Amino acid sequence: MAVFNIFKDLFDKLSALFSAKKDVKLGLYGPPNAGKSTLANRICKDWLGEEMSSVSAVPHETREVVVKEKIEVKSKGKSLSFNLVDTPGIATKIDYEDFLKFKINKDDAKERAKEATKGVIEAIKWLDDMDAVVVVLDSTINPYSQVNITIIGNLAARDIPVMIAANKTDLKKSDIKAIEAAFPQYPVIGMSAEKGINMDEFYDQLFKVVKK
Amino acid sequence: MNLTFKFVPFNELNGLTSEKKINRLLEFVKKDKIVLLQGRLKPSEEAWLIQKTMEQQAANKGFKGIELFTIPASRNEKIFSQMRAVVARVLLGSRDELTLIGPGTIIKEIKSNPDRSELLTTVRG
Ligand SMILES: Nc1nc2c(ncn2[C@@H]2O[C@H](COP(=O)(O)OP(=O)(O)OP(=O)(O)O)[C@@H](O)[C@H]2O)c(=O)[nH]1
Ligand SMILES: [Mg+2]
C-alpha cells in the first residue's frame, strides 16, 4: 500500500506537470479612460483579493503594460487560469493640454503625454501575443471611433477571440445598443467594472469566448 | 494654421510596401494636409500608422498626432453617407471607401472656426 501511494503520488505529480493547463493570456484593450484598469482590478479582487493597476479619471493613467499571472477564475463549475494583461489606452493623438484641466502642471503633463505615446506603441506590439481579448469600451461614448475599429480589425485579422465589455452601465448616458450595433459580429456584455454590476455574465461570456 | 486637402488616389499607393505607404501618408499630414485616401488601409497598416504616429509625436514637439477616420462604402447611416456625399461630390464622383487622415489639431481648428464652406474652398483650391 505504501509503495502504491508513492507511485500514485509520483504519477499525480507527473501528470500534473504534463497536462498542466496552459494559462490563457487575456488582454484588456481599448481607448483611454474606458475602464480597463478598473476591470483588471475587479477581476483580480474577485479571484486573488488584491488589485493590479492604477485607476484615474485622467486619461492615459496606464502607460506601461501590467501583467498579473495565474488568476484562477471559476464560472459555472469550470475553472481557467488567466494571465491578465492590462494595456495602455490606444489613441491616434495625445495632447498634453488635455491633462492640464486635471490640475496637472505643464511639465508633468508633457511628460505624461510622452510616456503615453510609448504606451500606445507597446500596447499594439503586445496584440500579437494574446490568446483572447476583452475590448473595454465606455458605453456612454459613441463607439464608432477609428481606434475601436482598428483594434477589433487587428484582432479579427489575427484570429484572436474577442468579446466587448460595454462598461459604465451604471451611468445614465450608457447605451449598450449603440455598441451592439457598431460591432454586431461580437458578443457585447453590458457591465460596470467599478460597481461590479453583471460580473457573472461577464465571466460566463469570457469562458465561452476562450473555449472557442 | 492653413489646412488643405490632399487627395491620394488608390493607385498612388498601390504597389508600395506598407512602410512606404504609411511614411508617405504621414509626410502629408505633417505638412498640415488632410489626406483623403481612396480606399482603406489594412488593419495591420492602420495599427502601424498609429505606432508610427506615436513615435513621431514623441520625437517632434510640433506634431500632435492624427485624426483617422474611414468612411465605409456600404453603410446607410446618415452621417456617413452625408460625409461621403460631400467629399465624393467635390473630389471623386465615386462610391468607394474613403480614409481621412488629418493632423491631430484638426478638430480644434474646425471647432474654433466652424465655417465649413472655408474648408470646402480649400478643397477646391
Ligand atoms: N461610473 C463608472 N466609472 C467607471 C467605471 N469603470 C471605470 N470608471 C472610471 O473611469 C475612469 C477611467 O478608469 P480606468 O480604469 O483608469 O480606465 P483605463 O481604461 O484603464 O484608462 P487608461 O489607463 O488611461 O487607458 C476612472 O475615473 C474610473 O473610476 C464604471 O463601471 N462606472
Ligand atoms: Mg488603465
Residue A84 lies in a domain: yes
Half-sphere exposure for A11 (CA within 13 Å, toward CB): 6
Residue A11 lies in a domain: no
Pocket test for ligand 1, best of A194, A195, A199, A202 (most atoms within 8 A of CB): A194
Q: Where are the alpha helices (DSSP H) in chain B?
A: 10-13, 18-30, 43-59, 78-87, 106-112, 116-124
Distances (CA, A) of A103 to A38, A108, B48: 22, 10, 33
Kindly state if the Cβ of A68 falls inside 6 Å of ligand 1. Answer: no
CATH number assigned to the domain comprising residue A150: 3.40.50.300
- The structural domain count of chain B equals 1
pLDDT band at B10 (very low <50, low <70, confident <90, very high): confident
If you measure from the C-alpha of residue A211 to the centroid of ligand 1, how many angstroms do you get, rounded to a whole number? 28
> What is the residue with the minimal CA distance to atom 8 of ligand 1?
A35
pLDDT digits (tens, 9 = 90+) for B71-86: 666 555 565 566 656 6
Kindly state if the Cβ of A60 falls inside 6 Å of ligand 1. Answer: yes
Residue A3 lies in a domain: no
- Tell me the shortest Cα–Cα distance from B116 to chain A, in angstroms: 22
Q: Which residue of B has its CA nearest to A127?
A: B47
pLDDT band at B108 (very low <50, low <70, confident <90, very high): low
pLDDT digits (tens, 9 = 90+) for A45-69: 999 999 999 999 999 999 999 999 9
pLDDT band at B124 (very low <50, low <70, confident <90, very high): very low
User: In terms of C-beta density within 10 A (0-12 exposed, 13-18 middle, 19 or more buried), how is residue B52 classed?
Assistant: middle
Residue A13 lies in a domain: no
Residue A59 lies in a domain: yes
- The structural domain count of chain A equals 1
Residue A60 lies in a domain: yes
pLDDT digits (tens, 9 = 90+) for A106-115: 999 999 999 9
Residue A18 lies in a domain: no
Provide the residue range defining the domain that includes A108.
23-211
Q: Where would I find the beta strands (DSSP E) of A150-195?
A: 162-167, 188-190
Provide the residue range defining the domain that includes B107.
4-121
Tell me which residue of B32, B30, B10 sits closest to B21, measured CA to CA: B10
**Can you tell me the mean pLDDT for A86-95?**
96
- Tell me the shortest Cα–Cα distance from B48 to chain A, in angstroms: 8
Q: State the complex-level ipTM.
A: 0.86
pLDDT band at B123 (very low <50, low <70, confident <90, very high): very low
Kindly state if the Cβ of A38 falls inside 6 Å of ligand 1. Answer: yes
CB A103 within 8 A of CB A91: no
